[in-house]
């Protein structure tokens, strides 16, 4: 297939069935054979700890929504609303490392779903959310710290 033919197919896909284009671009996080038995939404993957292995439990996974993509996966939003705002508040120099994008994405998700929790109150995002954020902002070496409940010092 030539580049021109590929562009034509993608254009037809976008206009005739936008949801199929969305799946082609964002894709499923796991293939059917890799799907954990506790996953309802079809987009979870097994994470580091049992506590992190929870699903959003929605047929239409939260990670498929436009608001999730706009708030939690859009680099410009995260950069301006998260990283630069944080630096302004704490008089710190901005850092644009992938880990900071992931951290702000998790914060935005929690704020959106649960509101402001306050000091010492934490929630673990569902595995589908963590997987989508890690897919968008991967660790350079493939290692992740996982959920920190803040209980351990």
- Confidence band (pLDDT; 50, 70, 90) for 68? very high
Question: In which residue are the tokens 């706009």 written?
Answer: 70
Q: Provide the number of structural domains found in the chain.
A: 1
> pLDDT by residue (tens digit) across 38-62?
999 999 988 878 888 889 999 899 9
User: Per the domain annotation, does 113 fall within a domain?
Assistant: yes
In angstroms, how far is the first alpha carbon of the chain from the final one? 57
User: Per the domain annotation, does 152 fall within a domain?
Assistant: no
Structure tokens belonging to residue 79? 């950069």
Residues 29 and 126 sit within 8 Å (Cβ to Cβ): no
User: Per the domain annotation, does 3 fall within a domain?
Assistant: no
Phi, psi for residue 73 in degrees, rounded to 5: -120, -5
Average pLDDT, the chain: 75
User: Per the domain annotation, does 84 fall within a domain?
Assistant: yes
- Mean pLDDT score, 77-99: 71
Would you say residue 31 has pLDDT above 50?
A: no
152 vs 124 pLDDT, higher one = 124
Would you say residue 69 has pLDDT above 70?
A: yes
> pLDDT by residue (tens digit) across 112-148?
998 888 777 888 899 999 999 999 989 888 777 665 5
User: Per the domain annotation, does 76 fall within a domain?
Assistant: yes
- Mean pLDDT score, 71-77: 89
- Distance (Å, whole) CA 73 – CA 64: 11
Predicted TM-score of the model (pTM): 0.69
User: Per the domain annotation, does 87 fall within a domain?
Assistant: yes
Domain hosting 64: range is 35-136
């Amino acid at each position: 297939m030539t580049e021109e033919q590929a562009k034509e197919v993608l254009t037809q896909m976008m206009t005739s069935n936008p949801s199929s284009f969305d799946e082609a671009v964002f894709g499923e996080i796991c293939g059917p054979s890799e799907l954990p038995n506790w996953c309802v939404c079809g987009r979870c993957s097994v994470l580091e700890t049992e506590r992190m292995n929870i699903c959003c439990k929605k047929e239409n996974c939260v990670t498929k929504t436009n608001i999730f993509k706009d708030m939690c996966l859009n680099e410009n939003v995260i950069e301006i609303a998260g990283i630069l705002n944080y630096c302004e508040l704490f008089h710190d120099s901005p850092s644009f490392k992938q880990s900071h994008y992931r951290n702000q994405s998790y914060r935005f998700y929690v704020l959106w779903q649960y509101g402001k929790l306050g000091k010492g109150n934490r929630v673990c995002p569902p595995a589908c959310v963590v997987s989508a954020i890690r897919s968008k902002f991967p660790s350079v070496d493939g290692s992740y710290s996982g959920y920190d409940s803040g209980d351990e010092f």
